[in-house]
Amino acid sequence: MDKETPRQLDADTRSLLDSVPTQLFLGGKWCDAEGSGTFPVIDPSTGDVLTRVADARPVDAMRALDAATAAQKSFAAAAPRERGELLRSVWQAISEHADDLARLMTLEMGKALPESRAEVSYGGEFFRWFSEEAVRVAGRFTQAPAGNGRILVTRQPVGPVLAITPWNFPLAMGTRKIGPALAAGCPIIVKPASATPLTMLYLAKLMQDAGLPEGVLSVLPSSSSSEVTQPLLDDPRLRKLTFTGSTEVGRSLVEKSAHGLLRTSMELGGNAPFVVFDDADVDAAVAGATLAKMRNGGEACTAANRFHVDNAVRDEFTTKLTDKLREYVLGPGLDPDTTLGPLVNADQRNKVDELVRDAVDKGATPVLGGTVPDGPGFFYPATVLTDVPADARILKEEVFGPVVAIRGFDGEDEGVAAANDTEYGLAAYVYTRDLDRALRVAENIESGMVGVNRGVLSDTAAPFGGIKASGFGREGGIEGIDEYLETKYIALTD
Ligand code: NAP
């Protein structure tokens, strides 16, 4: 079959896809892209085209910025309660359309349907959380220490925002930015990943139906992300760039934003260590490791990438974790039996395979999986590698797939040193029954987030973000809205 020809789909899937707008959403209006270009959206379970969407050009991006700039003043002046209520209505709409959103996400991104359902719930929560935060933006008022004046500190919306989002969480990586931007009073232009534009377009439709004011949101799918975002970064009317994606692209965007001294937030790649000490509850560590590795099919920036296990419990941990991962059923994400869907595309699957081959060539032992299955789609099985040597690339690079790489250590100092042996610093996981050790290690691990005896960290109420090559800025929590606010000091006489 010609991969460019949309394939025959069952009636339910066809009607779901037909309900998704495939035009650009420019400040509240659906339009074709300049030149009427489109690009295909691929089903990772077959490699076939699902549908085509409008392919934004730089001129479309400028139209989105015109609309955002025109809306800025009135949106910032709207009552915070009004903005909060809009966000809450969108959270309700997401909840009502959760099933369609989850199926759509699985169709374009591949992951098993329960994973998509979990993302819809997590992603929607950012609207509920920031609907509540919209009314809690506060400043302060104090007397100057010398007694000769008063200090008034206020918070104001930063202005029009550009959000560039990845494919691995097509909804949540957008809502984690749109929620706080709108709560703060900033119009936002979203450039979703070209692999997964449908979820964001569907969200735009839900937001439009919920009463979104004109100009406040634009969604610009594009097959030429660098070209389409460049004029926005060059335009002084844009006041903020928030990016989630790879460290490599994040670095280049920081460079491009430097000229205009654009305010930036960077949620970048990770290389999370999962550290199991000799006093850990091994069964709890195995349950946590399964979640930390297999959530989202391993395609999460917080996914445990390296398993550093004290040699005293390493064999037991390895055997039990391998037994757990053997239970995963690989298949198309919409299949009811599937617990592990395909990876997003051939490049991603090839990279996972390359990292596994490299580790095995250097001496690692594959005890589960480790080979690309025959047939269509971008599948890769749950894989466990033991005795991974220190020079294996998989310990340095983000694997972004269902691969566990295990390496032993002896004692706390060696465990912490191994965990910190990376340029990244997003998430880390620690298993120990000793509270003193847990706090000591959590404080000494160089990362923005540490899970103690738990394998999932993400929570709308907590500040999500990294240090070192994992970027800067925080999303979620009470901190998340700060990224979209400026602090203004007004000096008053006494
Ligand atoms: P990516 O290749 O960096 O792409 C991310 C986004 O940037 C996509 O929308 C992409 O568009 C766009 N993009 C790529 N090159 C660009 C350029 N030169 N100028 C402007 N935009 C550009 O990352 P990805 O492969 O989609 O996502 C996986 C990465 O995201 C992983 O490293 C993961 O760790 C990271 N991530 C981090 C977090 C976090 O919170 N720290 C969360 C999730 C994911 P196209 O799709 O068109 O290429």
pLDDT of residue 494: 87
Q: Ligand 1 pocket, 267 CB below 6 A?
A: yes
Identify the DSSP state of 105. H
Q: Which of 249, 256, 343, 400 to mutate to test the pocket of ligand 1 (most atoms within 8 A of CB)?
A: 249
Helix (H) or strand (E) holding 420: helix 412-420
Report how far apart, in Å, the C-alpha atoms of 39 and of each of 49, 173, 198, 479 are: 10, 22, 12, 37
Alpha helices per DSSP H over 35-171 = 58-77, 80-96, 98-109, 113-133
Q: What's this model's pTM, rounded to 2 decimal places?
A: 0.97
pLDDT of residue 5: 53
Q: How many CA atoms lie within 13 A of 251 on its CB side?
A: 7
Domain boundaries, the chain: 11-268+471-490, 272-459
Query: Which residues fall within 8 angstroms of residue 161, CB to CB, at 6 or more apart?
Result: 68, 177, 181, 186, 187, 188, 189, 238, 239, 240, 241, 242, 484
Q: For 272-459, CATH number? A: 3.40.309.10
Q: Is 412 a catalytic residue?
A: no
Q: Which of 108, 119, 125, 267 is catalytic?
A: 267
Q: Given the CA of residue 470, which atom of ligand 1 is nearest to it?
A: 41
Cα separation, 468 vs 426, whole angstroms: 8
Nearest residue (CA) to ligand 1, atom 15: 249
pLDDT of residue 400: 97
Put residue 137 in one of left, alpha, beta given phi > 0 → left and psi -120 to 50 → alpha: beta
Cα separation, 2 vs 137, whole angstroms: 54
pLDDT of residue 1: 41
383-386 and 365-368 beta bridge pairing:
antiparallel
471-472 and 263-267 beta bridge pairing:
antiparallel
Q: For 11-268+471-490, CATH number? A: 3.40.605.10
- Count CB neighbours of 336 within 10 A: 9
Cα separation, 467 vs 354, whole angstroms: 27
Q: How many whole angstroms from 323 Cα to the centroid of ligand 1?
A: 33
pLDDT of residue 2: 43
The order of strands in the sheet holding 140-143 is: 140-143, 150-157, 485-492
Cα separation, 311 vs 316, whole angstroms: 10
Q: How many whole angstroms from 246 Cα to the centroid of ligand 1?
A: 5
- pLDDT mean by block of 10 residues, the chain; 494 residues: 59 94 98 97 97 98 98 98 98 98 98 98 98 97 96 98 98 98 98 98 98 98 98 98 98 97 98 98 98 98 98 98 98 97 98 98 98 96 98 97 98 98 98 98 98 97 98 98 98 94
DSSP notation for 433-475: S-HHHHHHHHHHS-SSEEEES-S----TTS-B---GGGEE--B
